[in-house]
Structure 1
Amino acid sequence: MEIKPNTKILQAFGLEPEGLNVRRFGSGHINNTFLLEKKQDGSKYVLQKINVNVFKEPGVIAANQRMAADFLAVHHPGYLFITPIPTVNGEELFVIDNEYWRMIPFIADSVTVDQADNPKQAYEAAKQFGRLASYLSGIDLKPFKASIPNFHNLTLRYSAFQEAIRTAKEDRKAAAEEMIEEFLRYSDIAVTYEQLKTNPDFRDHLMHHDTKINNVLLNKDTYEGICVCDLDTLMPGKIISDLGDMVRTYVCPVSEEEKDFSQIVIREEYYEALMQGYLEEIGGTLTKVEKEQLFFAGKFMIYMQGIRFLTDYLNGDVYYPIKHPTHNYDRAKNQLVLLQRLMEKEAILQEIIDKCLLISVTSEQ
């Protein structure tokens, strides 16, 4: 069935509906996204409705992207940074019926992948995220606001976990008792985060905060990285957010949805590829403290995601959509196993980090 966004929305961006082919686009779950193609010349655009249930202040997203784009235009003018196409009235967003719409350019000859199928893809994606962070390393963070406040605040997530344990219905608490104890055994991860976030050498950077591999555009033929996309969560944060999410989602061959936990393994070659790609770009900008916490990044993100799933299970599945009664329980168990597998390989993975850091320093000389 042909999909037609409101005519007023299309006209706000200078487009006429009768001259367009319109179809749903992408695999994202947050925003409604459409691909627009002009019948006359084949030029393409991406139209998105921002999900205001997730992003309460769409104007913050637009402002953060604009400030980053302005900085990059001055300091790295050749860098491809996707920015919204303004409306005919020069606005970054078009608002109608309390809906916020934006249009961005379609990047030709690009593809996305939903999982890393080989180490090269992990390397290319990590390199793009590292380059973006490196290029933005000199920007003044004071004007930036959080598009999702406390998004990667482990202190808050751990407090919510403790509260869920206290208030959960007895049947759920009993079913999850063993897993609750396991996650509490690793509470030192939350303690370490609490100590780190007040360390002046563990700085805020402008981070992407959603570094899954499908948020990088790759060349459709060579699979080399082109640029980062989906910049809604571009906001101040710690280096462990972006790196940790890559470790969580690139190094294991199965996702958080996998219930056969025997398939959860740490692929060392993928870990090395993403670490090499990331540190080649950003390694030279990191402090000694930040370099010391590169392995911690994976522990931090996997632990946080695990307790978020378990918290939701204990609360009665009120946040994450579920397909069966133990869905969030299974997701939490998946992340617990992934955390354990990662920690089992800490020694060898730290050797990989040290090697990649040495290479990044050597390449700068």
Structure 2
Amino acid sequence: MELSIAEELIEAYGFTADTVSLQQIGSGHINQTYLLSSLKDNKKYILQNINTEVFKEPFAIANNIKAVADYLKEHYPDYLFPAPITTLNGDLMAHHDNGYWRLLPFVEDTSAFDTLSETKQAYEAAKQFGKLSRLLNEFDTSILSITIPGFHDLAWRYEQFTFALNQAATNLKITANEVIETALHHHFIIDYYRSYERSKEFPDRVMHHDTKISNVLLSSSTNSGVCVIDLDTLMPGKFISDLGDMIRTYICAFSENETDLTKIEIRLPYFEATVKGYLSEMASILTPTEKELILFSGKYIVYMQALRFLTDFLSGNIYYPITYPTQNLDRAKNQFKLLSELFEDEKILQDIIEECLS
């Protein structure tokens, strides 16, 4: 083996150290991920360690994925859902040295991208995330566990922000004063969400919750969507979690690390491709209320991410890795600029949505 992985982990899945090769892969910052290649039959697998600092209950993740996998296998047997392979003992994960590992099938002839380079990628990714939720429309969400409590709870994120604000050093508050005022001003987004929160027309659905482009596999030859991956945050939520996260991460050519705010603009073709791809699967099951909240989904998630960056800056940069002291503040400014673009272009964006719906 090229990397040092405990032999017990390899053996739990029926391999031995001299029959596999391992290569670290992936751009994710949460879980360690390796490509495991069998030297006997040339089959490939993904071996992944679950980060228990982020995911406190790995069995909740494993049970969620198994429940969904079983449902899809029964009702949609042709759907590609890359669920973990059980150990020789039938366990959902392998446990070693206080760590939890899983083995996943490797999907051949596919690619995962860190950035979007064409609208088709946005369309196909949005279609794949929408398809997963559509197929699970009749699935009982109550049997799924919450793998990260409060993950997309904007009201709770706002409470974290106000706590950090009250505790922050004076110099940090002075430095961030303008951004803090912007954050406080946009509290109305929470109030707007609350006016819909308990409506029967705004149901809980099975959501992926982390719909960045790198979490979907596209065909290496055609860029067509193949399947969704990285299912740790698969849990109950509102549709805005998935669509809003796609809007946040697909429509701008630059990431949250861009400090030149004049570059933070909405790429209308990418917005249209994202909405069109998602609605190609979800339009038939979304309620009238959900359809009204399509653009709001982007505002909700962008505002939440801006708050998280600002909260981290005021807390002393304890969560998001930084390369310079004000990076999280700059990230917050970046996201608030994107939020302002969503409001400024609202009429154009809503017209695009109406056209996609019709």
Q: In which range does the TM-score fall when normalised by the shorter chain?
A: over 0.9
In 1, the alpha carbon distance for the partners of 2:19 and 2:2 equals: 14
Q: Which residue of 2 aligns with 1:346?
A: 346
SS of the counterpart of 1:142?
helix
Counterpart of 1:304 in structure 2: which amino acid? M
The runs of 4+ residues in structure 1 deviating greater than 4 Å are none
CA contact (8 A) 2:142 2:236 kept: no
Q: Which residue of 2 aligns with 1:273?
A: 273
SS of the counterpart of 1:297?
helix
SS of the counterpart of 2:143?
coil
In 2, the alpha carbon distance for the partners of 1:165 and 1:186 equals: 16
The share of aligned pairs that are identical, in percent, is 49
Counterpart of 1:166 in structure 2: which amino acid? N
Structure 2 gap ranges (5+)? none
In 1, the alpha carbon distance for the partners of 2:253 and 2:206 equals: 29
Aligned residue runs from structure 1 range 182-221, under 5 A = 182-221=182-221
Q: Which residue of 2 aligns with 1:10?
A: 10
CA contact (8 A) 1:155 1:193 kept: no
Q: Which residue of 2 aligns with 1:302?
A: 302
The range that moved more, 250-259 or 315-324, is: 315-324
Aligned residue runs from structure 1 range 154-173, under 5 A = 154-173=154-173
In 2, the alpha carbon distance for the partners of 1:331 and 1:196 equals: 29
Aligned residue runs from structure 1 range 241-260, under 5 A = 241-260=241-260
Counterpart of 1:277 in structure 2: which amino acid? G
TM-score by length of 1: 0.97
User: How far is 1:200 from its partner?
Assistant: 2.1
User: How far is 1:77 from its partner?
Assistant: 1.2
The range that moved more, 148-157 or 158-167, is: 158-167
CA deviation profile, 1:202-233 (whole Å, cap 9, x unmatched): 11000000000110001111111000000000
CA contact (8 A) 1:155 1:194 kept: no
In 2, the alpha carbon distance for the partners of 1:61 and 1:30 equals: 14
Q: Which residue of 2 aligns with 1:74?
A: 74
Counterpart of 2:320 in structure 1: which amino acid? Y
Over the residues paired in the alignment, what is the CA RMSD in angstroms?
1.0
Counterpart of 2:34 in structure 1: which amino acid? F
Counterpart of 2:276 in structure 1: which amino acid? Q
Report the count of equivalent residues: 358
The range that moved more, 327-336 or 37-46, is: 37-46
In 1, the alpha carbon distance for the partners of 2:176 and 2:262 equals: 20
Counterpart of 1:224 in structure 2: which amino acid? S
Q: Which residue of 1 aligns with 2:290?
A: 290
SS of the counterpart of 2:145?
coil
Aligned residue runs from structure 1 range 1-365, under 5 A = 2-358=2-358
User: How far is 1:264 from its partner?
Assistant: 0.8
CA contact (8 A) 1:22 1:36 kept: yes
SS of the counterpart of 2:236?
strand
User: How far is 1:56 from its partner?
Assistant: 0.3
